[in-house]
Amino acid sequence: MLALLEHIVVAAVFLMLLGVYLKAGTRELFRVVVIATKHIPGVSELVASTLKSEAASFIKSTKLASSNGLVSKAATVALPKTGIPKEDLLRQMKEMKEKETDHMDGKVFAYAYTLTDDHFELQKDVYEMFSEKTGHCPEHDDLVKTFQRSFLHENALNPMVYPSLRRMETEVVSMTSAMLHGGASCAGFLTSGGTESLLMAVKTYRDRAQKLAPWISQPEIVCPITHHPALDKAAHYFGLKVVHVPVTSHLVADVDAMEKAVTANTVLISCSAPQFCHGVVDPVLEVSNMAARLGLPCHVDACFGGFMLPWVEKLGYDVPVWDFRCPGVTSISADVHKYGYSVKGASVITCRSEEYRKYQIYSYGSWPGGLYGSPSMAGTRPGGNIAAAWAAMKSLGEEGYMARAKTLMDITDKLKEGIAGIEELKIMGHPHMTCVAVGSADPSVSILAVADLMEKKGWTMERQQNPDCVHCSVLPHHQVSCDQLVQDFRDSAQEAKKNPQLSKQGTAGIYGMMAAIPDTVIIEDFIKEFFSEVYKLQ
Q: Tell me, yes or no, whether 191 and 294 share the same domain.
A: yes
**CATH number of the domain encompassing residue 528:** 3.90.1150.10
User: Are 244 and 225 within 8 A, CB to CB?
Assistant: yes
Q: Tell me, yes or no, whether 189 and 265 share the same domain.
A: yes
Q: Tell me, yes or no, whether 275 and 171 share the same domain.
A: yes
Residue 158 lies in a domain: yes
Q: Tell me, yes or no, whether 94 and 51 share the same domain.
A: no
Q: Tell me, yes or no, whether 371 and 455 share the same domain.
A: no
Residue 73 lies in a domain: no
Residue 234: give the domain boundaries. Answer: 86-398
Residue 269 lies in a domain: yes
Q: Tell me, yes or no, whether 172 and 311 share the same domain.
A: yes
Q: Tell me, yes or no, whether 188 and 297 share the same domain.
A: yes
What was the pLDDT predicted at 258? 98
Last residue of a domain, one of 398, 413, 433: 398
What was the pLDDT predicted at 102? 59
3-state secondary structure of 253: strand
User: Are 401 and 171 within 8 A, CB to CB?
Assistant: no
What was the pLDDT predicted at 4? 46
Mean pLDDT in residue range 357-363 = 92
What was the pLDDT predicted at 510? 63
Q: Return the higher-pLDDT residue of 271 and 148.
A: 271
Please write the tens of the pLDDT for every residue from 249-304.
999 999 999 999 999 999 999 999 999 999 999 999 999 999 999 999 999 999 99
Which helix H or strand E contains 279, and what residues bound it?
none
Q: Tell me, yes or no, whether 385 and 416 share the same domain.
A: no
Residue 358 lies in a domain: yes
Q: Which residues contact 12 (CB under 8 A, 6 or more apart)?
A: none
Residue 75 lies in a domain: no
What was the pLDDT predicted at 1? 46
Q: Which residues contact 197 (CB under 8 A, 6 or more apart)?
A: 191, 303, 333, 334, 335, 347, 348, 349
Number of separate domains in the chain: 3
Q: Tell me, yes or no, whether 387 and 413 share the same domain.
A: no
Q: Tell me, yes or no, whether 101 and 207 share the same domain.
A: yes
Q: Return the higher-pLDDT residue of 40 and 410.
A: 410
- In a 13 Å sphere around the CA of 107, the CA atoms on its Cβ side amount to 5
Look up residue 402 and give its amino acid. Answer: M
Please write the tens of the pLDDT for every residue from 412-436.
999 999 999 999 999 999 999 999 9
**CATH number of the domain encompassing residue 99:** 3.40.640.10
- Reduced 3-state DSSP string for 107-171: CCCCCCCCCCCHHHHHHHHHHHHHCCCCCCCHHHHHHHHHHHHHCCCCECCCCCCCHHHHHHHHH
Mean pLDDT of the chain: 84
Residue 329 lies in a domain: yes
Residue 70 lies in a domain: no
Last residue of a domain, one of 356, 375, 398: 398
What was the pLDDT predicted at 106? 52
Please write the tens of the pLDDT for every residue from 113-139.
555 666 556 666 666 666 666 766 777
What was the pLDDT predicted at 381? 78
Strands 331-335 and 347-351: antiparallel
Q: Return the higher-pLDDT residue of 102 and 536.
A: 536
Last residue of a domain, one of 343, 371, 398: 398
3-state helix, strand, coil in the chain (%, to 5): 50, 10, 35
Q: Tell me, yes or no, whether 193 and 223 share the same domain.
A: yes
Q: Tell me, yes or no, whether 426 and 365 share the same domain.
A: no
- Following CA atoms 474, 410, 138, 307 in sequence, which dihedral angle do they give, to the nearest 10 degrees? -60
Mean pLDDT in residue range 323-348 = 95
What was the pLDDT predicted at 266? 98
- Following CA atoms 256, 262, 267, 273 in sequence, which dihedral angle do they give, to the nearest 10 degrees? -20
Residue 68 lies in a domain: no
